[in-house]
Every structure is written in structure tokens, then in C-alpha cells.
């Protein structure tokens, strides 16, 4: 999760990562970047469903 945050942070102005569980984290994203960040994360796919 931390590596995903680091990658997204280089592309978008996101806040610090707050981990709740190993598979659940939160960041603050400015309203103008929200759609782009969500689509980017969706396109990366889940790191927890790798075969």
C-alpha cells in the first residue's frame, strides 16, 4: 500500500497515507484531482488479487 501511495504522490497532490489495515488506507485528495486519482488507482489494479 505504501508503494502505491508513493507512486500516486509523484503524480498527484495527495495527502499522507493513513493505514487502517494492511488492505485499507485513506488519503486526502483535492476536489479537482479526485476523478483522475480514482481512475489511476483503478487502472493500477489491486495488489491483493495477484495470481
Kindly list the domain boundaries of the chain, sorted by start residue.
2-44
pLDDT-derived band at 48, boundaries 50, 70, 90: low
The CA R_g of the chain, rounded to the nearest whole Å, is 11
Mean pLDDT of 37-51: 78
Q: What is the pLDDT of residue 49?
A: 60
**Mean pLDDT (whole number) for 20-33:** 94
User: Looking at the predicted structure, is the pLDDT value of residue 51 above 60?
Assistant: no
The pLDDT of residue 47? 66
**Which residues, 6 or more positions from 30, have their beta carbon under 8 angstroms from its beta carbon?**
13
Amino acid at each position: 500500500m505504501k508503494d502505491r501511495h508513493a507512486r500516486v504522490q509523484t503524480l498527484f497532490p495527495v495527502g499522507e497515507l493513513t493505514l487502517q489495515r494492511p488492505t485499507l488506507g485513506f488519503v486526502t485528495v483535492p476536489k479537482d484531482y479526485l476523478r483522475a486519482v480514482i481512475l489511476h488507482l483503478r487502472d493500477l489494479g489491486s495488489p491483493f488479487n495477484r495470481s
